[in-house]
């Protein structure tokens, strides 16, 4: 009887020792493991026995969506594993916009994409070239796998890699490159850690806007990224922040839960009236606008409201095309800067969560157990249409590490 995972060569964690055998030990162990696994599967002569084998040996249940709004559970063997990877047991996954779009379309737009990109888990095994992790470490993952060799990756812009693919974690076990894993601080809850990616997007937008404690910040939009940007700006020390949106209910949640100044305006409202309300809220004009709802209305509002030499960050879109006054951009010497995905922002986001400066865990609306994954998708889709809360699926066993909201850094 073989072990559930490949037996890796024993090594001293936290050291740089490189024995002569270590380079080939991993390949030999994995080859032996795969050979024994294939032999055992061949011994299962019927389909029922094969399914029983997969359940008992790997327990790697995977969520697939092959038709719109239809969730299926499949059984898979453990992914291939190399010396620079870690094997992770998924603990929790926060459903993101890409997951919900895939759920609605049945994967027709992105065939072959795996689900669950905002995830936390526990390291089970490490490759023999990895020294910074050991089994039992709690980690959060950057799910985007860049090629590392294209021109953009060489420039450090791995977020726009030509060959970027996403490693999904809506499964019991997943293999991931160790350099895209980050240790979760001891006092941070695993559920709250799933929102590290969300907070990282807001952090990057703030840094690109060159936000300082004296900056007047206007954030347009009321989604999770807008909230993350506001939390990061507050953590930097900004005292004058206003969140504006055309959707009233999410703004009420932001004001009540995070205590930011909020301003609601109608989509058909005249610009002069919106600007008057904005000045009344900020008592000044903004130095920086973080636009998390890019559209014709929001872009023109940004350009009109900004002080000369101000910065407008384009973080998320409400529309594919937006016409705005280019002459104002030129005459006021404004900077329009995109902020797409995130680069090296996970450590910053985790530190803000650990220090209690960014209580992103308050965005969690519901936590569903693995057996209720279909209900989780329906709830997340409903929440995305009416609010800004997040739905999390707990992939671990139900009796382990039950989430309590009072445990998060709020």
Question: Do 366 and 315 lie in a common domain?
Answer: no
Question: Do 250 and 377 lie in a common domain?
Answer: no
Question: Do 178 and 45 lie in a common domain?
Answer: yes
* pLDDT in single tens digits along all 410 residues of the chain: 444 454 444 333 444 444 444 445 545 554 555 555 555 545 544 444 444 444 445 568 899 888 888 888 888 888 778 899 999 999 999 999 889 988 888 876 666 678 899 999 999 999 989 999 999 999 999 999 999 899 999 999 999 998 988 888 999 999 999 999 999 999 999 999 999 999 999 999 999 999 999 999 999 999 999 999 999 999 999 999 999 999 999 999 999 999 999 999 999 999 999 999 999 999 999 999 999 999 999 999 999 999 999 999 999 999 888 899 999 999 999 999 999 999 999 999 999 999 999 999 999 999 999 999 999 999 999 988 888 899 999 998 654 444 344 444 54
Does 160 fall in a domain?
Answer: no
Beta bridge pairs of residue 73: 63
Q: What is the pTM of this model?
A: 0.82
Residue pair 365/380 in contact (Cβ under 8 Å)? The answer is no
Determine if residue 177 is left, alpha or beta; phi over 0 gives left, psi from -120 to 50 gives alpha, anything else beta.
beta
The parent domain of residue 191 ranges over 22-143+169-197+345-407
Question: Do 248 and 133 lie in a common domain?
Answer: no
Does 1 fall in a domain?
Answer: no
Question: Do 183 and 319 lie in a common domain?
Answer: no
Helix (H) or strand (E) holding 394: strand 390-394
CA distance 82 to 88: 13
Residue pair 63/71 in contact (Cβ under 8 Å)? The answer is yes
Query: Which CATH number is 362's domain given?
Result: 3.90.180.10
Question: Do 55 and 107 lie in a common domain?
Answer: yes
* Residue after which a domain boundary falls, among 284, 318, 338: 338
Does 119 fall in a domain?
Answer: yes
Question: Do 322 and 364 lie in a common domain?
Answer: no
* Residue after which a domain boundary falls, among 306, 338, 370: 338
Does 114 fall in a domain?
Answer: yes
> Number of structural domains, the chain?
2
Query: Which CATH number is 300's domain given?
Result: 3.40.50.720
Question: Do 299 and 264 lie in a common domain?
Answer: yes
Does 263 fall in a domain?
Answer: yes
Question: Do 219 and 237 lie in a common domain?
Answer: yes
Q: How many Cβ atoms are within 10 Å of 322's Cβ, its own excluded?
A: 16
Does 10 fall in a domain?
Answer: no
* Residue after which a domain boundary falls, among 309, 338, 367: 338
Question: Do 174 and 252 lie in a common domain?
Answer: no
Question: Do 255 and 367 lie in a common domain?
Answer: no
Closest listed residue to residue 244, CA positions, set 200, 308, 290: 290
Question: Do 182 and 42 lie in a common domain?
Answer: yes
């Amino acid at each position: 009887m073989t072990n559930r995972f490949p037996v890796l060569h024993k090594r001293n964690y936290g050291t740089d020792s490189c024995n002569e055998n270590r380079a080939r030990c991993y390949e030999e162990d994995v080859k032996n493991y795969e050979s024994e696994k294939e032999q055992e599967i061949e011994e299962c002569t019927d389909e029922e026995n094969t399914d029983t084998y997969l359940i008992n040996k790997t327990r790697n249940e995977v969520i697939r969506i092959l038709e719109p709004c239809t969730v299926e559970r499949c059984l898979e063997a453990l992914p291939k594993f190399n010396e620079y990877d870690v094997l992770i047991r998924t603990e929790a996954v926060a459903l993101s916009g890409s997951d919900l779009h895939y759920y609605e379309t049945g994967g027709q737009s992105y065939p072959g994409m795996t689900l669950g990109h905002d995830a936390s888990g526990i390291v089970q095994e490490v490759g023999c070239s990895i020294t910074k992790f050991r089994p039992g470490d709690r980690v959060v993952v950057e799910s985007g796998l860049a090629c590392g060799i294209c021109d953009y990756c060489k420039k450090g812009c791995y977020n726009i890699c030509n060959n970027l693919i996403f490693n999904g974690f809506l499964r019991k076990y997943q293999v991931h490159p160790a350099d895209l894993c980050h240790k979760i601080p001891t006092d941070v809850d695993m559920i709250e850690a799933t929102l590290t990616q969300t907070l990282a997007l807001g952090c990057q937008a703030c840094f690109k806007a060159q936000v300082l404690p004296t900056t007047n910040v206007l954030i347009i939009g009321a989604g999770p990224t807008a909230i993350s940007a506001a939390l990061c700006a507050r953590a930097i020390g900004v005292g004058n922040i206003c969140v504006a949106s055309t959707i009233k209910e999410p703004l009420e949640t932001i004001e009540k839960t995070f205590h930011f100044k909020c301003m609601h305006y109608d989509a058909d409202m005249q610009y002069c009236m919106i600007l008057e309300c904005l000045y009344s809220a900020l008592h000044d004009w903004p130095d920086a606008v973080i636009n998390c709802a890019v559209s014709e209305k929001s872009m023109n509002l940004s350009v009109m409201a900004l002080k000369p030499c101000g910065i407008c960050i384009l973080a998320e879109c409400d529309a594919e095309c937006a016409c705005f006054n280019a002459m104002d951009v030129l005459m006021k010497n404004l900077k329009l800067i995109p902020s797409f995905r995130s680069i090296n922002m996970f450590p910053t986001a985790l530190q803000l969560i650990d220090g209690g400066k960014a209580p992103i865990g308050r965005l969690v609306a519901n936590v569903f157990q693995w057996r209720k994954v279909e209900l989780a998708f329906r709830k997340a889709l409903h929440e995305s249409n009416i609010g800004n809360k997040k739905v999390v699926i707990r992939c671990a066993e139900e009796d382990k590490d039950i989430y309590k909201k009072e445990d998060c850094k709020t």
